[in-house]
């Protein structure tokens, strides 16, 4: 037998490590787009699933945003069938809220969150992680954004966060899988595409290589620090009491405020550091502000010595 390709071995080991807690019969879904990353993930997961006796399926979400998207989905499903994976293709209508990328993401995750699964695998790579961190840094979104994507978030798992995009392409080549190249990935109209094609090559050149790995390591360290602060924030007894909030360090207070806002119904994808800074002023610099409007149809107000959340009045 020919020797096992190192990229294939790395992919299989990454899946084993990411799903080590799952036992026989566990329901695993791989989210597939037809690109190299997701096809590679499906390929190596199929091998591991066979040895671990997992119930493996794949889901392809057709966003219907490009001509021929149904053909791309059909071809990907055909290749998955060839490696023994049952696949469902789900066509979705993408809205416009938050822009095309955010709307497509929301539609895709709605499908994936509805899966009857113990784990849904996403094929984000180390390169995706570095790009995500740089996007967050450019937006000034704070440490939570710079922490990047978590390996585990509820049912979602990202086994490939330490693999490079070149490795997923090599997995496909080694296993005779033909991947689709999304034209949006090189379209300068999309900020992530410009980071990928313009900014990352410059960083690699200026820093002498290793920039993507360094950014991903930084994200991992920031994420660990953030998780520790989140645990401390969870233990605050009275998270709406102004005196209690004022006694906290700013980094901890912002996490407590974020948790109270989300619990009140604020939209997590739109709640920003700027919103939290304004809520913070109700604690540290209150001059009778009426209310702080938050995404999701809620507002934060100060009532005496406490904060409270109310429904945003219609018409202001």
Domains of the chain with CATH codes: 6-203 (3.40.50.620), 236-311 (3.30.465.60)
pLDDT of residue 144: 79
Q: Which of 270, 45, 247, 38 is nearest to 139 (CA)?
A: 270
CA gap 300, 44 in Å, rounded = 48
CA gap 113, 155 in Å, rounded = 8
pLDDT of residue 143: 81
pLDDT of residue 79: 96
Q: Which residues of the chain have pLDDT under 50?
A: 316
Residues sharing a CB contact under 8 Å with residue 296, sequence separation 6 or more, in sequence order: 265, 266, 267, 270, 271
36 is annotated as contributing to ligand binding? yes
Lateral strand order in the sheet of 86-91: 86-91, 55-62, 27-32, 119-121, 156-157, 152-153
pLDDT of residue 99: 67
pLDDT of residue 100: 67
86 is annotated as contributing to ligand binding? no
pLDDT of residue 102: 76
pLDDT of residue 314: 61
CA gap 168, 189 in Å, rounded = 25
269 is annotated as contributing to ligand binding? no
38 is annotated as contributing to ligand binding? yes
- Could you report the per-residue pLDDT of 214-263, keeping only the tens digit for each? 999 999 999 999 999 999 999 999 999 999 999 999 989 999 999 999 99
226 is annotated as contributing to ligand binding? no
95 is annotated as contributing to ligand binding? no
pLDDT of residue 186: 79
**Residue 58: beta bridge partners?**
30, 87
pLDDT of residue 103: 82
């Amino acid at each position: 037998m020919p020797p096992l390709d190192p990229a294939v071995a790395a992919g299989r080991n990454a899946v084993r490590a990411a799903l080590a807690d799952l036992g026989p019969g566990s329901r695993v879904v791989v989210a597939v787009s037809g690109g190299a990353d997701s096809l590679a993930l499906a390929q190596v997961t199929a091998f591991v699933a066979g040895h671990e006796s997992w119930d493996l399926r794949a889901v392809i979400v057709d966003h219907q945003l490009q001509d021929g998207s149904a053909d791309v989905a059909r071809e990907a499903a055909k290749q998955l069938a060839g490696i023994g994976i049952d696949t469902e293709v789900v066509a979705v209508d993408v809205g416009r809220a938050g822009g095309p990328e955010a709307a497509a993401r929301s539609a895709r995750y709605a499908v994936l969150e509805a899966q009857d699964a113990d784990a849904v695998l996403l094929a984000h790579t180390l390169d995706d992680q570095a790009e995500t961190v740089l996007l967050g840094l450019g937006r000034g979104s704070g440490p939570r954004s710079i922490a990047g994507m978590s390996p585990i978030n509820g049912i979602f798992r990202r086994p490939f966060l330490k693999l490079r995009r070149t490795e997923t392409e090599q997995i496909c080549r080694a296993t005779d899988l033909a991947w689709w190249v999304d034209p949006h990935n090189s379209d300068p109209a999309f900020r992530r595409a410009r980071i990928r094609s313009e900014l990352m090559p410059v960083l690699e050149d200026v820093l002498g290589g290793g920039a993507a790995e360094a950014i991903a390591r930084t994200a991992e360290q920031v994420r660990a620090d953030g998780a520790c602060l989140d645990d401390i924030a969870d233990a605050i007894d009275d998270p709406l009491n102004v005196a209690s909030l004022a006694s906290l360090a700013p980094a901890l207070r912002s996490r407590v405020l974020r948790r109270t806002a989300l619990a009140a119904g604020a939209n997590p994808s739109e709640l920003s550091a700027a919103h939290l800074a304004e809520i913070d002023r109700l604690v540290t610099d209150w001059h009778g502000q009426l209310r702080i409007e938050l995404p999701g149809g809620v507002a934060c107000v100060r009532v005496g010595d406490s904060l409270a959340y109310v429904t945003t009045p219609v018409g202001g």
